């Protein structure tokens, strides 16, 4: 399909055309951005394209898709959102560490580690680094427990690095006993997929969130992992915070601590 699209774009070229790309993006979105299309064509954000507001994009993009391009290359909107919100917290001076629960191959962790180092913060990563723990999988009623097991602590460490990063391997939340002391959290990124670890992540860190801290929740409304939505909705029932939903591929959501 992609080859056909670019052959079609190339066929528009004329000697008097200033740019094939210009014509492509002028006419092609009308043919792609339709209800029966599996992809949407979107413009790069003006803050980056016109004003140079994301000079790290190529470097971050490389980390974002490393070993996981099939998922993350189609979800760059989530990369932009993560970076913008992390930067906003730093700019506002919200105190605390960055924490991620659910690391998988370390794509988002590599980006968060670089942002944390630039701001003089720590990043603490929690994961089995071996896929779903069978206790969580059984609780969710999954027929298999080998999802996301094509990773390892060594591989993640190689991508993310060690400077300012603490790796906590094990079954969460039991692994909290092995973690460094975390008094304040400025950014909490939850990407656990399943109900029990997602609920445990919220319970473990909610009271440690600094005022103004941001909690980013992956897969809240994606449809793939309904346990995530159940856990978040139930946890926030008696809390003052309300969710903001993001239209990225994974259906992310976020809230900021009051």
CATH number of 188's domain: 3.40.50.150
Question: Are 62 and 27 in the same domain?
Answer: no
> Do residues 111 and 63 make contact, with C-beta atoms less than 8 angstroms apart?
yes
Buried b (16+ CB within 10 A) or exposed e, 133-170: beebbeebebeeeeebeebebeebbebbbeebbbbbbb
| Domain enclosing residue 20, as ranges | 2-32
Domains held by the chain: number? 2
- The closest alpha carbon to 163, from 109, 82, 83, belongs to 109
- Residue 48 inside a domain? The answer is no
| For residue 145, pLDDT beyond 70 | no
Question: In the chain, pLDDT over 90 holds for what percent of residues?
Answer: 75
Q: Residue 27 CA to chain centroid, in angstroms?
A: 31
The pTM score is 0.89
Question: Are 204 and 121 in the same domain?
Answer: yes
Question: In the chain, pLDDT over 70 holds for what percent of residues?
Answer: 88
Q: Residue 19 CA to chain centroid, in angstroms?
A: 34
Query: Omega of the bond prior to 238 within 30 degrees of 0, cis?
Result: no
Under the banding of pLDDT at 50, 70 and 90, the label for residue 21 is: low
Interatomic CA distance for residues 30 and 8, integer angstroms: 14
pLDDT at 1: 52
Under the banding of pLDDT at 50, 70 and 90, the label for residue 7 is: low
| For residue 213, pLDDT beyond 60 | yes
Tell me the average pLDDT of the chain: 90
> Do residues 133 and 127 make contact, with C-beta atoms less than 8 angstroms apart?
no
- Residue 160 inside a domain? The answer is yes
Question: Are 209 and 86 in the same domain?
Answer: yes
Question: Are 135 and 230 in the same domain?
Answer: yes
pLDDT at 89: 97
Buried b (16+ CB within 10 A) or exposed e, 47-85: eeeeeeebeebeebbebbbbebeeebeebbbbbbbbbeb
């Amino acid at each position: 399909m992609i080859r056909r699209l670019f052959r079609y774009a190339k066929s528009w070229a004329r000697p008097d055309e200033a740019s094939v790309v210009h014509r492509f993006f002028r006419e092609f979105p009308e043919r792609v951005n339709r209800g029966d299309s599996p992809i949407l064509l979107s413009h790069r954000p003006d803050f980056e394209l016109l004003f140079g507001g994301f000079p790290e994009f190529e470097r971050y993009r490389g980390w974002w898709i490393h070993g996981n391009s099939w998922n993350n290359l189609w979800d760059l909107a989530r990369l932009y959102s993560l970076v913008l919100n992390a930067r906003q917290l730093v700019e506002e001076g919200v105190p605390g560490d960055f924490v991620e629960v659910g690391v998988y191959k370390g794509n988002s962790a590599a980006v968060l580690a670089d942002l944390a180092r630039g701001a003089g913060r720590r990043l603490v990563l929690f994961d089995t680094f071996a896929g779903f723990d069978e206790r969580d999988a059984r609780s969710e009623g999954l027929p298999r427990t080998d999802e996301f097991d094509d990773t390892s602590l060594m591989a993640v460490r190689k991508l993310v690095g060690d400077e300012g990063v603490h790796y906590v391997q094990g079954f969460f939340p039991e692994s909290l006993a092995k973690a460094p002391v975390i008094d304040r959290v400025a950014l909490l990124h939850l990407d656990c997929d399943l109900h029990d670890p997602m609920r445990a992540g919220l319970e473990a860190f909610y009271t440690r969130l600094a005022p103004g801290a941001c909690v980013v929740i992956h897969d809240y409304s994606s449809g793939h992992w309904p346990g995530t939505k159940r856990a978040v909705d139930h946890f926030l029932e008696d809390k003052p915070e309300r969710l903001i939903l993001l239209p990225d591929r994974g259906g992310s959501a976020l809230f900021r601590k009051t």
